[in-house]
Amino acid sequence: MNYTIFGESHGPAIGVVLTGVPAGLELDMDAVAAEMARRAPGQDPTATARKEADQVEILSGVFEGKTCGTPLAAIIHNTDTRSKDYSKLKDLPRPSHGDYAGSVRYAGCNDYRGGGHFSGRLTAPLVFAGAVAKQILAPMGITVSSRVSMVGGVADPTEEQINEIILAAKADGDSVGGAIAGTVTGIPAGHGAPDLGENAEGIFARHLFAVPAVKGLSFGAGFAFASMRGSQANDPFYMDGDTVKTRTNHSGGINGGITNGMPLTFEVAIRPTPSIAREQQTVSLSRKADETLIINGRHDPCIVRRALPVIEAAAALATVELLGK
Amino acid sequence: MNYTIFGESHGPAIGVVLTGVPAGLELDMDAVAAEMARRAPGQDPTATARKEADQVEILSGVFEGKTCGTPLAAIIHNTDTRSKDYSKLKDLPRPSHGDYAGSVRYAGCNDYRGGGHFSGRLTAPLVFAGAVAKQILAPMGITVSSRVSMVGGVADPTEEQINEIILAAKADGDSVGGAIAGTVTGIPAGHGAPDLGENAEGIFARHLFAVPAVKGLSFGAGFAFASMRGSQANDPFYMDGDTVKTRTNHSGGINGGITNGMPLTFEVAIRPTPSIAREQQTVSLSRKADETLIINGRHDPCIVRRALPVIEAAAALATVELLGK
Amino acid sequence: MNYTIFGESHGPAIGVVLTGVPAGLELDMDAVAAEMARRAPGQDPTATARKEADQVEILSGVFEGKTCGTPLAAIIHNTDTRSKDYSKLKDLPRPSHGDYAGSVRYAGCNDYRGGGHFSGRLTAPLVFAGAVAKQILAPMGITVSSRVSMVGGVADPTEEQINEIILAAKADGDSVGGAIAGTVTGIPAGHGAPDLGENAEGIFARHLFAVPAVKGLSFGAGFAFASMRGSQANDPFYMDGDTVKTRTNHSGGINGGITNGMPLTFEVAIRPTPSIAREQQTVSLSRKADETLIINGRHDPCIVRRALPVIEAAAALATVELLGK
Amino acid sequence: MNYTIFGESHGPAIGVVLTGVPAGLELDMDAVAAEMARRAPGQDPTATARKEADQVEILSGVFEGKTCGTPLAAIIHNTDTRSKDYSKLKDLPRPSHGDYAGSVRYAGCNDYRGGGHFSGRLTAPLVFAGAVAKQILAPMGITVSSRVSMVGGVADPTEEQINEIILAAKADGDSVGGAIAGTVTGIPAGHGAPDLGENAEGIFARHLFAVPAVKGLSFGAGFAFASMRGSQANDPFYMDGDTVKTRTNHSGGINGGITNGMPLTFEVAIRPTPSIAREQQTVSLSRKADETLIINGRHDPCIVRRALPVIEAAAALATVELLGK
């Protein structure tokens, strides 16, 4: 299964085409809607005020409620696109956004309104694709879950702490970053390979780094390995009935690029939303001169919580790809 | 440019085939040899005693000293393969090695001698490929460098500290992990895309996670983003003459999956070598019973230093791929 | 540039997503419409009566009239889908259609109405994609053209002959096959490679065999080579000013899988439309018994003329891919 | 399974790397040698006098006689490379060879000796790869066969006729082209898809057009469809016990890009060897002037018979790819 996401934040619609979908999957559209709702804006006092139904319209690849096996196209119409003037973004790139790099890459022809193709809104079709992937995995006993493992420097925060940290940042016109820990259980041993393009870590990385704002990814003990000795890090094998297991899982379920039957565990770093309310230093691309910029509009001070279903979607899609290798 | 690495530690030869090599590159074989020497075993009092010349033989794709543009195949003969009995590895997988996952993946048919296709020895052809990549990049003003950013929990260690930490581990029959920080300078702005398979982070991840022992990868501030606010994390733009630059580089040279012209910076986590001299718990795959294992033979207590040219090779190959997108 | 076509004949919409579109191309929508019109049904007394506007709606990748460089999605709504009962097709596969092979491939879950994803209607988004490709090629001086080289066994037929042959078949409740000769002029020498996946013939084949009803493809003299001697077949070189040319072009502009600067010429065989009005032998898939079938509905007795813009589209897309290799 | 062929006719060695080989296949090296022998030169009074053992050396991916599942690299050393002067080929491209197109493609850096990477000798590793593919297919009951369907314009020639035609051409210092008909039996229904990159015809085309000298490819009735009516062309279904079959097989076992369970039949056109003994017109690339050329050396007047195992190899590799889709 492969996917292509298309769309711009203020164009007619955003969407996704999934190819290689197995035929005969009875799509649970309520489960899809539930995933979409987890990501949707406007559900949370700390989040952006933009409210859109994120109503998915399936154009192809589903017949009488079941997947056909042919390419599955789904779109979400853009409805709440305010007509305000975005044109200054064309000249004054927002720090740490894709504006400047994108204007070079796309020869100044990218749709800059609302971030265009770089918008976090493009994660909506990704969540849709991930919901399909989860439904492919569920009958195999494979589940994908995630939790906020850090926000604003606080490890393993509670809901209450998360809200506090976010609201404090919001009060300062600022944003905060975080991290998400993910787990995929039920992947049998023996998927992946040590080679380029086939190792389990690389396949997960391909999908997870395609999520905007992800700037780090680790498996198992991850960067903590740099402070460990082999005798601590190695996962001792034992027999659990007829099944080979490991007593610890520092390897995150992967050895030599191949799954070993233990839960696949990973963590991603999420950068703070670059859209903050404070004055920032930028440049005028037309005048080639330093400038200051104040970004107006609706912006989440922290996207980490809304990113949970997005990260799960990417992990589910990675798992489907891994199983197909 | 793409590459395929082949070979087993105790087979006749290991090697690599590079496709899409630009034609007309005058290969500097001394520079290639220098890279190979950085990775080679036996050069360092703390490293493994296995001594092999790692002599690269080019079979195709080079004519009269220049690349032809046709597939470039290079092999390294395995010469120092000791005839000792490896057969117990077939039944007793080494903890945190690819032995068990590999035996499932390859239906028990993988060559287990000396780690087979999972051996760190397979990084030799990778370093060769990376040396070619570096020579492709150099005329564009692009350089790749790296340093040990952590070893055994000590950040930014000196050579002296590294030796101490490694020798202490060796004395304990143990090994240590670490981290490597890499930098690619000179990549112009505008390479990559936000999309799956095209974003700069994903392309680097594809190459870096294909290096054995790499269990984490981050760009710019990486996991430190989880403790930062947007006002700290954002990289302010300014004009340096006619060039757009940023005052900080927390983004690691990438915004929205696209290079922004600043140095591309990344860090990888390297797990401790799983081959340690201590008794470990494992299982007998044939008898499905718990067992203990003592690994004999020549093993590095720390591969982080030898991994530097390997990580640079992967980064150079990633850069060449990125520029071709 | 790559493309994915999606949709079913009687679903909500059909469409295409183009990735890797160069940024900044000013899309000439009149030229697009003209191409669409060449393929559209209902324009010709010999062709099917189904009338649909084939109105293309662009959802993404175009901003202020220019391509953004981001994925370009375009859809065509299905409007003239008659509500008649197609369910017997599910049980009685039409000879030489994709019905039976598709029901096996897609576990009986494919949308069989009007041919579903196998419908010739899916060539409409292909023509759209080809129109974009032609506009990418035109500024490079590259043009794609085609003509009916055979219909119903008559070589190089005139319009009058084509009409006669088709109407005679129609009167018999039958259909006729044909062939199309295509030419791409202006491709510079030096594109392609002898290798798998990179040779010019293979790239054209990938695109042309993806067109429904294409069952043969040849380059230059093609199957006539089987009756030629080398002294007749070889194309003598000569200098035309500073340009290397060949006096004949039996090679169809390709030597060793690489373009040689001469026009790229090819021919495709088009099978007769399998939908004919006569009684045919089939089987009942549910009862596993022989059956007879009469296909009702609107069907072209010959698709060769309408296939011209489709074949040109595939050739234009192949050329864009070839130039990117 | 995918493959990369490397090597130049007069370099140290030619070879192939196969990836995605299933693990545990007991390689029958006698069967491999038999396939190699069918292609080898010097076995036939009408063929080239160059004699090489074509001894395959397996470097990786096979352990204790079985495939490991890891990349399988095999090489053939070039032994009979005469030291004669090929340098005039650099300046005087041979008509209808890859010399000129290759010199443009590879910026004049290709190894021109003996055709370099364009040499028909590169089909030796292809035959090796095909022999592995055949051994993968055999246990599934899939067989690949071929026959000379035309030589020098004579359809379905006998061995005697073939020899006569070839010797007559040889006497004239000329060469002859031909065609090969191939059949793959035993592919189950339901493999492939109508889509780009997935249709059965396209997958076969990718492999078959990568064989040097192939300039045409058709399936089933192929170009004869252009002279047929639908009522003749359509393949009536019937039940053979529980199996759906067709009474004719004009479709060549493929409908809608998907196998239908009938034998997959195809035909390829083979151009006459461009190396002929007669004086030919060419150009001097350095002086940009018209020139004449006489090609010396050992050349087959007809490669059609030696191409049989090569075409079968490509078809076997295509079948393995098709089954994996």
What does the pLDDT look like over A82-91, one tens digit per residue? 656 677 778 9
Chosen from C19, C196, C323 to mutate, greatest number of chain B CBs within 10 A: C19
Closest by Cβ to C270, choosing from D226, D255, D260: D226
When CB atoms are compared, the residue of C224, C238, C255 closest to D96 is: C255
| pLDDT at position A228 over 60 | yes
**Under 8 Å between Cβ of A35 and A131:** yes
The pLDDT, as a whole number, for residue D79 is 85
Taking an 8 Å cut-off on Cβ atoms, the answer to whether B71 and C195 are in contact is yes
To probe the interface with A, which of B117, B148, B225, B243 has the most A CB atoms within 10 Å?
Answer: B225
Instruction: Check C19 against B195: CB less than 8 A apart.
Output: yes
Helix, strand, coil percentages (3-state) for chain D, rounded to 5, are 30, 25, 45
* Contact between residue B204 and residue A210 where contact means Cβ atoms under 8 Å apart: no
Q: What pLDDT does residue D51 have? A: 57
Q: How far B206 CA lies from chain D's nearest CA (Å)?
A: 17
**CA dist., res. C293 & res. C88, Å (int):** 10
Q: What is the mean pLDDT of chain A?
A: 94
> Per residue in C274-307, pLDDT tens?
999 999 999 999 999 999 999 987 788 999 999 9
Across the interface, do B19 and C195 touch by the CB < 8 Å criterion?
A: yes
pTM above 0.95, yes or no: yes
Arithmetic mean of pLDDT, D167-177: 97
Best of A21, A195, A258, A325 to substitute, by most chain D Cβ atoms within 10 angstroms, is: A195
C14, C206, C215, C254, best to mutate vs chain D, most D CBs in 10 Å: C215
Give one word for B58, left, alpha or beta, with left for phi > 0 and alpha for psi -120 to 50: beta
CA distance B226 to C93: 58
Average pLDDT over residues B217-239: 98
> With contact defined as beta carbons under 8 Å apart, do B3 and B129 qualify?
yes
Task: Mark out chain D residues that contact chain A at CB-CB < 8 A.
Answer: 19, 69-71, 193-195
Contact: D107, B24; criterion CB under 8 Å: yes
Asked if B77 and B57 touch (Cβ cutoff 8 Å), the reply is yes
Please report which confidence band the pLDDT of residue C49 belongs to, taking 50, 70 and 90 as the band edges. low
Q: Count A/B contacts: CB-CB distance under 8 Å.
A: 371
pLDDT category, A44, cuts 50, 70, 90? low
Q: Would the CB atoms of A100 and B251 count as touching at under 8 Å?
A: no
**Residue A173 — left, alpha, or beta (φ > 0 → left; ψ -120 to 50 → alpha)?**
left
Count B/D contacts: CB-CB distance under 8 Å. Answer: 147
**Which chains reach chain C with 3 or more Cβ–Cβ distances below 8 angstroms?**
A, B, D
Say what percent of chain C tops pLDDT 70.
95
Among chain C residues, CA nearest to B68: C193
Helix axis angle, D123-137 to D304-324, nearest 10°: 50
How many other CB atoms are found less than 10 A from the CB of residue B16?
27
pLDDT at residue number B49: 55
* Residues of A with Cβ-Cβ distance to D60 under 8 angstroms: none
Mean pLDDT of chain D: 94
Residue-level pLDDT at C88: 78
**Predicted local confidence at residue C87, as pLDDT:** 76
User: CB distance A68–C108 less than 8 Å?
Assistant: no
More confident position, A52 or D167: D167
* Nearest CB neighbour to B269, from listed A175, A222, A283: A222
Q: CA A119, CA A111: separation in Å to the nearest integer?
A: 10
Chain B nearest CA to A136, separation (Å)? 20
Interface probe with A: pick from B2, B103, B105, most Cβ of A within 10 Å: B105
Confidence of residue D132 (pLDDT cuts 50, 70, 90): very high
Question: What is the chain C residue with the closest CA to B20?
Answer: C325
pLDDT digits (tens, 9 = 90+) for A145-165: 999 999 999 999 999 999 999
The Cα of D99 is separated from the nearest Cα of chain C by a number of Å equal to 8
- D227/C153 CB distance under 8 A: yes
Q: Cβ contact (<8 Å) for D105 and B23?
A: yes
CB contact under 8 A, B271 and A225: yes
Mutation target to probe the A interface, by most A beta carbons within 10 A, among B150, B231, B278, B300 is B231
Q: How far is B108 from chain D (nearest CA, A)?
A: 8
Closest by Cβ to A117, choosing from C14, C68, C108: C68
Q: Do B239 and A288 touch (CB under 8 A)?
A: yes
The values of phi and psi at residue D226, to 5°, are: -65, -15
C256–D176: do the CB atoms touch at under 8 Å? Answer: no
To the nearest whole angstrom, how far is the Cα of C185 from the nearest Cα of chain A?
28
Residue B281's beta-bridge partner residues?
A: B292
Query: Are C110 and A73 within 8 A, CB to CB?
Result: no
Contact C229 D272 (CB under 8 A): yes
> How far apart, in whole angstroms, are the C-alpha atoms of residue C295 and residue C162?
24
The answer to whether residue D52 scores a pLDDT higher than 60 is: no
Contacts of D75 in chain B (CB under 8 A): 59, 73, 75
- B52 pLDDT band, cuts 50/70/90, is low
CB contacts, 8 Å: B267 with chain A:
223
* C196 vs A141: CA distance, rounded Å: 39
Region D137-156: mean pLDDT is 98
Q: Chain A partners of B272 at a C-beta cutoff of 8 Å?
A: 225, 228-230, 232-234
- Going from the C-alpha of C318 to that of each of B81, C144, C321, the distances in angstroms are 49, 11, 5
CB contact under 8 A, B212 and A282: no
Chains touching chain A through at least 3 C-beta pairs below 8 angstroms are: B, C, D
In degrees, to the nearest 5, what angle opens at C-alpha B118 toward C-alphas B117 and B119? 95
Query: Closest Cα to residue B259, out of B181, B318, B195, B199?
Result: B199
| Cβ-nearest to D118 among C93, C150, C256 | C256
Cα C10 to Cα A19: distance, rounded to the nearest angstrom: 19
Distance from CA of A132 to the nearest CA of B (A): 17
